[in-house]
Amino acid sequence: MKLSLLVLGVCLSLATPAAAQIYSWRDMDGKLVLSDEPRSGAAAMTTYAVPGAATVRATKPLTIKTSRFDDTIRVHAGKHGVSADLVRAVIQVESAFNPIAVSPKGAMGLMQLMPATAVEYGVGNPFEPEENISGGVAYLRHLLDRYDQKIELALAAYNAGPGNVEKYGDVPPFRETQNYVRKITESAPAAPPNTIYRWMELVNGRPVARYSNKPPASGAYDIVGRR
């Protein structure tokens, strides 16, 4: 036993002097996270100096994962002027990219559309990924416009319904909804780009180009820029 301790002491004394900080904290689900980068914000966190850290493997915080649906996400996010990263974050939290997911409340597919929402946005088969993403992104665009591009309110309405956002005038005081909004906003851009839309209208029988930072209520349009 003494010999083992002596060998261990010698090894430590000869270890490479390089050191790094390892940070740890509990996430919103109570799981322990280890990272070689500090957590943003002022939340409780513990840090350790690790000798010879080149041989230590640290786990980085969870990031938005890519998936086989990325091309579809980019197409529909671009069509509606919504951040593709925001859409990915919503899908990750809603269904973990499971296209046949069904919630206890009846929400379906990748973006967990409720039956009434699926019907409203023309989604015939909510378990078909492209249809689901198309309807989900269109609904998210509607909520962003409704709440003046305030992502937190749009996400709260997506999770808890617009009625609850209207009732409280803010993110509702529901733990599930507050955690939902926090998870997504921590892993997605703070705001979508300000998209410029163009479409044609008939004025006195002549086609006239219209431009706006909001898409028309109906009909075809083009995205001509972002700023």
Q: What's the confidence (pLDDT) of residue 184?
A: 92
Q: What's the confidence (pLDDT) of residue 127?
A: 97
Q: What's the confidence (pLDDT) of residue 1?
A: 47
Has residue 215 got a pLDDT over 70? yes
Instruction: For residue 77, give both structure tokens.
Output: 């996010």
Per-residue pLDDT of 13-68, as tens digits, reads 444 444 455 666 666 555 556 566 676 654 566 665 544 444 333 333 445 555 68
What are the backbone dihedrals phi and psi of residue 46, each rounded to the nearest 5 degrees, phi first?
Answer: -115, 145
List the domains of the chain with CATH numbers. Answer: 2-55 (no CATH), 70-187 (1.10.530.10), 195-226 (no CATH)
The residues carrying an active-site annotation are 94
Q: What's the confidence (pLDDT) of residue 59?
A: 37
Has residue 211 got a pLDDT over 80? no
Query: Whole-angstrom Cα distance, residue 69 to residue 92?
Result: 11
Is the pLDDT higher at 221 or at 37?
Answer: 221
Nearest CA to 155 out of 192, 100, 101 is that of 192
Query: Whole-angstrom Cα distance, residue 97 to residue 133?
Result: 11
Q: What's the confidence (pLDDT) of residue 20?
A: 53
Q: What's the confidence (pLDDT) of residue 11?
A: 42
Q: What's the confidence (pLDDT) of residue 156?
A: 97
Q: In the sheet that 32-35 helps form, which strands lie side by side, from edge to edge?
A: 32-35, 19-26, 46-51
Has residue 167 got a pLDDT over 90? yes
Side-chain-side CA neighbours of 22 within 13 Å: the count stands at 16
C-alpha 5, offset from chain centre = 49
Side-chain-side CA neighbours of 64 within 13 Å: the count stands at 21
- Residues 9, 14, 18, CA angle at the centre, nearest 5°? 115
Summary count for the chain: helices (H), strands (E): 8, 6
Q: Are 110 and 136 in contact (CB under 8 A)?
A: yes
pLDDT-based confidence at residue 124 (cuts at 50, 70, 90)? very high
Which own/partner pairs from 96-100 qualify as long-range (CB within 8 Å, at least 24 positions apart)? 97/65, 97/67, 97/69, 99/127, 99/128, 99/129, 99/132, 100/127
